[in-house]
Structure formats: structure tokens, C-alpha cells
Amino acid sequence: MKRSDEFYIGYQKEVGPGTKKLLKRFIWITVLILLTGAAVFGFFQRPAVNSTFDFGNPTQVSGVYHESPYPMLRVPLAENEFKEIVLLGFGKSGPNPFLKDLRERKGDLNGKQLTIEGQLIYYNGRTLLEIDDSQKVMVSGTGAYEQPKSMGTRTLEGEIIDPKCYFGVMKPGYGKIHRSCAALCILGGVPPVLVTKEENNREVYFLLTDVKGNPIHQDILPYIGQPSRLTGQVKELGEWRIMQIDVSQIEKLKKESSIY
Amino acid sequence: MGLDYKWVFWNTHKKAYDRLIVSGMVIYLVLFFTISFLTNPEIIAETVIIRAFGSLAIIMLHIILAIGPLTRLNTKFLPVLYNRRHLGVSMFLAALIHGIFAIIHFHALGNVNPIYSLFTSNMDYGSLTNFPFQVLGFFALLILFVMASTSHDFFLHNLSAKTWKRLHMMVYLAYALVILHVFLGAFQQETSVFTTATLFLGWLTLVSLHLVAAFKESKVDRFVAEKNTEGWHKVCPPEEIEESRAKIFTVKGERVAIFKYDGKLSAIHNVCKHQGGPLGEGKIVDGCVTCPWHGYQYLPHNGQSPPPFTEKVKTYALKIEKGMVYINPKAFPEGTAIPPISSS
Ligand code: HEM
Ligand code: FES
């Protein structure tokens, strides 16, 4: 068996014809691998939903502030028609750091009419508002707001998400990939929300509180972004629901999340 | 051959190689972005950037890891090996962009340090399907960083070829971490038979190539020479060695290359001082053994690089008896001149 006498040396200009042929083939195969790779990895991504974050496009919103128990704004849309807008802060934080100044000057904000300039986040009929500057929150009077109405005890399966990302800032804003971000958001003061699907495949959203109705953040971190089963008192507040749960009773389910 | 001459052509090859790397990466990214935004119009740019660079990096890693066994199977692949480090550094840069964007996207703007968050925002270290997969990517990126930053010859000279080689073998650890990063991470949520099958196929190809190449080399190592009374090893008749080429034999656990040139035979240690290239797969060029990997040269009779270079390898004594070549397994110190024997 006679070995081909071609021998490539990097600092010499000549490249043998056999080597050249093989290199050409190698380059074409590599290009083919790259094209196939881009096609496969690009094409087989889960479709993102049409949630929206009005980044860089602030809106002024006026409504009655209340903590039920998370900071919300009851905004009139038409006569006897209201939207309950959940308030959020900049980055992975809740609204409280941006309301601190105002609280120090005006005391309890519950029932105060606030005008806020912030960036809207919306999806599936729910709206949230990101406040990125405490100077853009003003008090302009007082107003009435509703107490949540009780709907009894329920047991539900779904996934706990952070509503800031889920309703628009990130895609995907749920599940394993997004889990650490959701944990940071909720730790930073964003209310935890349970997403479930009703029989008609419509999504329903529950703001989660502890059994006494107080906000929960740190304690719920181990349960975020995974399918789980929760039991608690359910209340209705406009287009949102509230569920009062005992965090230690959350059951992790070993199956794919129903919201994918 | 003057040094300047070497430098110039060395550079034209390198430039062509770098141009190919950059074009390949650009083609990939453009196609990925186009497909993503056309088929998934609601997707956000950050996610596409993270996914484009992550998937590009893992594909490049597969190509890099395939080059080694391919050259061992067919030396015509050597030109690809020459500048593999450029491919490595480019792959690291793609992975770095992926990692930085992921850290900013998922971990910045919170009330804890992003790196602290990377390790603590998911504490399910005991679970497989919920494992904090980003930590695996982080350690892979760290290894790739160490490798990319020591890929220059400066470190090769200052770390000793063995340490450098060991360091760069860690690419296999990085590969394992990346595979786990993807299978325990993205694939737990973005489940598609096609992406999973593609990566599985890539893994299978790499494993097979490495096995086939190892099998080919083990044939050399399995060779057991007959010994004569004084301890010389009988290797082969001189006609089995081609002119200007060598045959490799393993004696006392060391690979030795026996070269034939100008009707003479000389034996030197098979391992190049540069990056451990197989000298016995090289060729005699301008009277020097020339390493197939990057062209380092050694004089066959004394194992020394011609001045001004200073590399030296061990040499061995040969003799011919009854039409058979015998080698003395006891190596001489690096650079010891041994008179060549006549090949007839
Ligand atoms: C600090 C280091 C890293 C972090 C924080 C990180 C983070 C992530 C995240 C969050 C995802 C899921 C993205 C999504 O699907 O939306 C992901 C996926 C992925 N990562 Fe990494 N990663 C790191 C390092 C690496 C390295 C070094 C590689 C390869 C060389 C790599 C390759 C991939 C691949 C192939 C995917 C799946 C495809 C994709 O979705 O992008 N990652 N990584
Ligand atoms: S290993 Fe680089 S020249 Fe021999």
C-alpha cells in the first residue's frame, strides 16, 4: 500500500490536489451542517404568544390605588366598567421602592387617586404597569375601590409564574428556562401568580397570598416555574382572582406544565 | 528557507481560514435570525440572540472535536487542524455572547448579584429534570475561557507541552457539561424531537470517530516486537518504510518513528515538542523531519531542530541484521547524534 506523497506544510504556499479536494469537500459539508443546524434550531422553537411590553413607550394611567394585598390601580374604562391594573417596578422589582417617597409624604395610599406614567404590559385581557421613576407618580384625590369577593375553596393545577415576564417582558416567560428570572422577580417584590387552564382552555390567573391574605415572596421561590397543585380560598377581583394558600401545602407535579 | 518567507505564506493560509470561520458564523446567524422572526413573529430579540449564539457554539464545538480524529484517520485533513485554535477562540466568543446575554436577560436588574443569582435562583441541585442547568453552562464557559486564553504559543512554551495538552483535554469536560446544560435545560421545555435528535446524532458521530481513530492507533501500540538476545527489538524489513517517510513502532511503551531518507535510516521519538504531533506521520522535507501538524522540523540523525530553533527530541540506535531492522529500546538523551545506518 503506497501512501499518497502529498504533505501539507502551513508555511508553504502549495497545497496538493488531493488535499485541496478533501478540504473543499470538508468545507461544503461544514456549510451544510451549519445550514441544517440553523434550520433545525431556528424552526423548532415553541411559538411565542402575543404578549406585549410597551418598552420605551410610556402611558399615563389614572385610577384608585389599593393593596389587595398587592399594589393595584382600579382604572375606570367606561361607566361602571373598571380594569384592575397590577403595579410593578423597574427591572426585577415590585412597585414598593417607587412608592416609598409618596408614602412618606402622604401616608397610607389605599383609596388615593393616583396618576402614574409608566410602561404597560398586557396579554389576554390583563394589564400591568411598570413604574420606573418615583417622580412619575402623583396623587390627585381620593376614590372608592372594591373588596375582593369570596368564591370558596378550590384545588387547582397550574404553574406559578412572575406576571411581569409572563404578560409581556420575556418570551418565554414561564417554565424551566425562565425559572431563575421568575424567582428574582418575585424575590424583588413582583406578586407571584398561578396560571391555570379552565375546561374551555381559557387561562385564569390567581394572585397568590398567604392564608391570612398577606403578600408572599421568598417562601414561594422553590415552587416557581414547575407544574404544581395548590389549594386555597379563592376570591375574585375584577378580571383577576386571588388565592390564599399555605405555601408548605403546595404539591409539585411530575408532569409537563399545562400552560405550554 | 528564510523566516520571512515562512511568515508570509503562513499568514495567507491563516487569513483564508479565518475568513471561512467568520463567513460560516455569519451565515448561521443570519439564517437563524431570519427563520426565527419569520416563523415566530412574536418572539423577542433577546431570546433569539441567546438561542442563535448558543446553538452556533455547540455546533462549532462538534466540528472542533471532529477534526482531531479525522486527521488521525486521514492526514489530508491536517490543514484544518493547523489553525484549529482560531476555530476554538471563535467558538468561545459565540458561547460568551450567549452566556453574557443569558446572564443579563435572566439575572440582571434584580436585587442580588447576577452571578450569585445564577447559582441560587434555582436550588433544585438534587433533581435531574429541575437541575439548575445554567450553572453547567457557566462552568463549561469557564473552561472554554481558560482554553481560549491559553491557546497562544506563549502559554505552550511557558506551561510545558504536557500541561498545555492536559489543559486542552478539558475540552471534553466542557463538551460533557454543555451537553448536560442543553439536555437538562432548554430541552426540558423546548422539547422537539428534531433538535434533540440532531444533538444526539452529533454526539454519536463524535464518539464513533474517536473510537475508530483510537482503534487505528491501538494497532501500533499492540505491536509486540520480537527481542533478540541483547534486548534489541526486531521491527520490520527496511523495504517496508517508504522513502522520505517513517513507520511508527511502540517500544517499551514509547512511540518511535523510523525514517528512511537518502538510502539511510534514523530513529527518533515520535512526539513533536510543539504540541505533541506525531512526527512519524510527517515527511522529510529539505533534509529535515517535518511535523505534520504545524511543520516544526528536526534533523533525523540527532533529533535537533536546525538553528536558530532549539527543540530537541530523543534519538534511538538502529542496526540491520539478516535483512531486518532492529531498534535499541534504550533512548539517548534529547538531541544526541546517532550515525544513520544504511537502509540496504
Ligand atoms: C454562563 C454561561 C451560560 C448561561 C448562563 C447559559 C444560559 C442558557 C439559557 C438560559 C438557555 C435557554 C435559552 C432558551 O432556550 O431560551 C441556554 C440554552 C443553550 N445553551 Fe447556554 N448558557 C451558558 C453557557 C453555554 C455554553 C458555554 C454553551 C455551548 C458552548 C451553551 C449552549 C447552549 C445551547 C446549545 C442551548 C440550547 C439552545 C438555545 O436555546 O440556545 N451555553 N443557555
Ligand atoms: S505539533 Fe505543532 S509542529 Fe509538531
| Per-residue pLDDT tens over the stretch A74-113 | 999 998 899 999 999 999 999 999 999 899 999 999 999 9
In sequence order, the 6+-apart residues with CB closer than 8 A to the CB of B67 are: B77, B80, B81, B84, B87
CATH number of the domain bearing residue A102: 2.40.50
pLDDT band at residue B126 using 50, 70 and 90 as cut-offs? confident
Is residue A245 within 8 Å of residue A232, measured between CB atoms?
yes
- CB within 8 Å: A171 and B44: yes
User: Whole-angstrom Cα distance, residue A63 to residue A54?
Assistant: 19
Is residue B19 within 8 Å of residue B90, measured between CB atoms?
no
- CB within 8 Å: A13 and B12: yes
In a domain, A14, yes or no: no
In a domain, A122, yes or no: yes
| Residue ranges making up the domain that contains A228 | 149-252
Ligand with the closest atom to the CA of B279: 2
Q: Are residues A138 and A156 in the same domain?
A: no
Q: Are residues A128 and A65 in the same domain?
A: yes
Cα distances from B255 to residues A227, B16, B223, B279, in angstroms, run 58, 34, 11, 10
Q: What is the Cα B196 distance to its own chain's centre? A: 26
In a domain, A242, yes or no: yes
pLDDT band at residue A1 using 50, 70 and 90 as cut-offs? very low
DSSP state of B96: H
SS (H, E, C) chain A: CCCCCCCCCCCCCCCCHHHHHHHHHHHHHHHHHHHHHHHHHHHCCCCCCCCEECCCCCEEEEEEEEECCCEEEEEEEECCEEEEEEEEECCCCCCHHHHHHHHHHHCCCCCEEEEEEEEEEEECCEEEEEECCHHHEEEEEECCCCCCEEEEEEEEEEEEECHHHHHHHCCCCCHHHHHHHHHHHHHCCCCCEEEEECCCCCEEEEEEECCCCCECCHHHHHHECCEEEEEEEEEEECCEEEEEECHHHCEECCCCCCCC
Of A240, A234, A189, the C-alpha closest to A84 is A240
Residues of A whose CB is below 8 A from B78: 8, 19
Q: Are residues A137 and A160 in the same domain?
A: no
Q: Which residues of A180-212 are buried (b: 16+ CB within 10 A; e: fewer)?
A: bbbbbbbbbbbbbbbbbeeeeeebbbbbbbbee
Angle between helices B171-183 and B193-222 (to 10 degrees): 160
- pLDDT digits 0-9 by tens, B276-330: 888 998 999 999 999 988 889 999 999 999 988 999 999 999 999 888 999 999 9
Which domains does chain B show, CATH number per domain? 12-220 (1.20.120), 226-342 (2.102.10.10)
Percent of chain B with pLDDT over 90: 60
Domain edge (last residue) among A90, A120, A142: A142
Residue B153 pLDDT > 70: no
Number of domains forming the structure of chain A: 2
Residue A12 pLDDT > 70: no
Residue of A nearest to B14 (CA): A10
**Which of the listed residues A177, A178, A181 should we mutate to test ligand 1's pocket, taking the one with most ligand atoms within 8 A of CB?**
A177
Domain edge (last residue) among A142, A174, A206: A142
Our answer on whether the CB atom of B98 is closer than 6 Å to any ligand 1 atom is yes
Residues of A whose CB is below 8 A from B129: 176
User: Whole-angstrom Cα distance, residue B62 to residue B325?
Assistant: 42
Separation in Å, CA of B207 to nearest CA in chain A? 17
Grid coordinates belonging to B277: 504531533
In a domain, A237, yes or no: yes
Domain edge (last residue) among A122, A142, A162: A142
Q: Count A/B contacts: CB-CB distance under 8 Å.
A: 190
- The interface predicted TM-score of the complex, written ipTM, equals 0.90
User: Whole-angstrom Cα distance, residue B47 to residue B195?
Assistant: 17
**Model confidence, pTM:** 0.87
Is residue B35 within 8 Å of residue A39, measured between CB atoms?
yes
Ranges A12-26, B94-108, B284-298, most confident: B94-108
- pLDDT digits 0-9 by tens, B213-227: 999 888 777 777 777
Residue A37 pLDDT > 50: yes
Of A144, A142, A173, the C-alpha closest to A53 is A173
Q: Are residues A86 and A171 in the same domain?
A: no
User: Whole-angstrom Cα distance, residue B77 to residue B100?
Assistant: 34
DSSP state of B238: G
Distance B332 CA to ligand 2 centre (A): 21
